[in-house]
Amino acid sequence: MAWRATEHPGVRYREHPTRRVNGRPDRYYSIRYGRNYIDHEEGLGWASEGWTPKKAAAVLAELRKAHTTGTGPQTLGEIRAEAEAQRERQARAEKREALRAMTLEKFLLDYELPRLKKETRGWRKDESRIRHRIIPALGAIPLAAITPADITNFLDALRRDGLAQATINHHSCILSKAYRNASNIIIDGCPIFSGRSPLEGMKAPEPFNARVNFLTYEQADALVELAEKRDMDLHDAIVLALYAGLRLGELQRMAWQHVDLAHGFIAIPSDAHRKTGGMVKITPEMDCVLKRRKQSRIIESALVFPSTIKGKHKETFSHGFKRLVDELGFNDGVTDPRFRIVFHTLRHTFASWLALAGTDIFRIKILMRHKVLDMTQRYTHLIPESVVPALMHLRPPKAS
C-alpha cells in the first residue's frame, strides 16, 4: 500500500486493499513532522475510526505549536496519554458524583444488609429497624447530604413514638456503622462516602431500660399453677427460669448433654457471641421438672425443649408467657415497659429473692453468671443486712 499526500502538508494516507467506507477504500492517516532536526512520522488511525485529513492536520498543528512554545504534549504518544488521563479523570469525577448521589436506602439494601447477614447473629432485628424505621425516614436522601440535624430529628421522632432509649440507640448504632463501612468500601478507587459522618461526635443518652420489678411469691405461685393448666412446656420453662435465673435463649438452646442429673448441675455453654455461660445448680423444683421431661419425652430430641412437635412449630415462650400474664392481670394499667412482667422478669425474680433472703452480692453475681459486679449492684438495696445498718447512721443520735 503506497502512501499518498493530502491537501494538508504533513498529512498522508494509504488505502486498505479490500475494506471500504462509504463506497471508498478505507484510508489510514499519518502525520510527519520534524523535531530536534529529526523527522518523525506517527500513525493516527483509519477513516473507519473517524479520522479525516482535516482532523489529522489539526493534531499536527497542535504538535507544531507545542514544539514552538515548548509546552504541552510534544509527541502523538504524549497527546494520547494526556487524552487517556483526561478520560480517566473525567470517569473518576463521574464515579465520585454518582457515589455522592447514592441514597441511604440504596447503600443499606445493596451493601449494609448483605454484610449484616454475614457478620451479625441478630441481623433480622437490624433488618427490621432498617426497613421499617430508617428507610422510610431517611432512605431517599443521599448519604453525603444527610446532616446531623436530619439524624437528630429522626431520633427525636423515635422517642416521640415511645421507643425505649436502648432501641433508639440501636438505630443510631446502625447508622453510625453504615457510614463507617461506606467510607471503607472502595469502588474503582473511590470510597462510597468520604467526609465527616453526620453522627460523628453525637453522644447517645445512656438508656435506663433495666427492669426494676420482680414477682412476689404469690404471683409466682399463681403463674406456675396457671401454666400447668395451659402449657406444660411453658410451665417447665418458667420453673427452670424462676429457680435458676436461666435466660430464655439458654432454655431454648439447652441440650440434654448439658444436664447432669446425677450430680445436680446444668452446664450453660460459653459462647463469644452470647451471654456468659457457667455451671447452674439444679434445685429440687428443677430436678422434678427435668426428670419428668426426660422420662416422658414425646420425641427423641437432643434439646430439653424441642423446637418442633409433630412437625408444627411451637410458639415462642415469650408469647405464651404474655398470655398467662395478661390472664392473671399482672400488667393491667402498667405503661412503663420497665415495670411490665415479661419472661425475663423471672431471672430478676430469682436474683431479687436471693437478695431478700440475705444472700451477699458476690454470691448473687456468681449465681447470676454476671461478667462484672456492676450488673449485680441493682439488687443491693434488697439485701437487708446491707441496707438496714446503713439507715441507722443517716444522722447521729440526739444528745440526751
Residue 208: predicted pLDDT: 53
Q: Residue 151 pLDDT more than 90?
A: yes
CB 256 within 8 A of CB 304: yes
Residue 154: predicted pLDDT: 94
CATH dotted code for 217-390? 1.10.443.10
Q: What is the mean pLDDT of the segment spanning 119-131?
A: 86
CB 382 within 8 A of CB 355: yes
Residue 67: predicted pLDDT: 84
Q: Which of 164-173, 231-240, 259-268, 382-391 has the lowest mean pLDDT?
A: 382-391
Q: What is the mean pLDDT of the segment spanning 288-292?
A: 92
Q: Which of 108-122, 136-150, 293-307 has the lowest mean pLDDT?
A: 293-307
Residue 305: predicted pLDDT: 87
**pLDDT tens figures, 28-37:** 999 998 887 8
Residue type, 30: S
Own/partner contacts of 95-98, CB < 8 Å, gap of 24 or more, are 95/187, 95/188, 95/189, 95/190, 96/190
The three-point CA angle 143-147-149 to 5° equals 145
Between strands 265-268 and 259-260, the pairing is antiparallel
DSSP state of 369: T
Q: Residue 152 pLDDT more than 90?
A: yes
Residue 210: predicted pLDDT: 58
With a pLDDT cut of 90, the percent of the chain lying above it is 40
Q: What is the mean pLDDT of the segment spanning 374-399?
A: 62
Is pTM beyond 0.85? Reply is no
**pLDDT tens figures, 155-174:** 999 988 888 788 888 999 99
Using DSSP, state whether 268 is helix, strand or coil: strand
Q: Residue 264 pLDDT more than 80?
A: yes
**pLDDT tens figures, 303-317:** 888 865 554 545 578
Q: Residue 398 pLDDT more than 90?
A: no
What's the CA dihedral at 344, 347, 348, 350 to 10 degrees? 150
- The segment with the largest mean pLDDT, out of 64-78, 149-163, 200-214, 327-341, is 149-163
| Mean pLDDT score of the chain | 84
Residue 207: predicted pLDDT: 55
Q: Which residue has the cell 417447665?
A: 236
**pLDDT tens figures, 327-357:** 999 999 888 777 889 898 998 999 889 888 8
CB 346 within 8 A of CB 336: no
Residue 260: predicted pLDDT: 92
Residue 399: predicted pLDDT: 59
Query: Residue 35 — φ and ψ, nearest 5°?
Result: -145, 125
* CA-CA-CA-CA torsion sign (337, 343, 344, 345): positive
Query: Residue 199 — φ and ψ, nearest 5°?
Result: -100, 0
Residue 298: predicted pLDDT: 60
From the list 197, 79, 81, 76, the residue with the least C-alpha distance to 148 is: 197
CB 83 within 8 A of CB 115: no
Q: Which of 4-13, 40-49, 342-351, 372-381 has the lowest mean pLDDT?
A: 372-381
Q: Residue 196 pLDDT more than 70?
A: yes
Q: What is the CA radius of gyration of the chain?
A: 38
Whole-angstrom distance, CA of residue 230 vs CA of residue 235: 8
Residue 396: predicted pLDDT: 59
Q: What is the mean pLDDT of the segment spanning 82-97?
A: 80
Task: At 287, list the grid cell.
Answer: 430436678
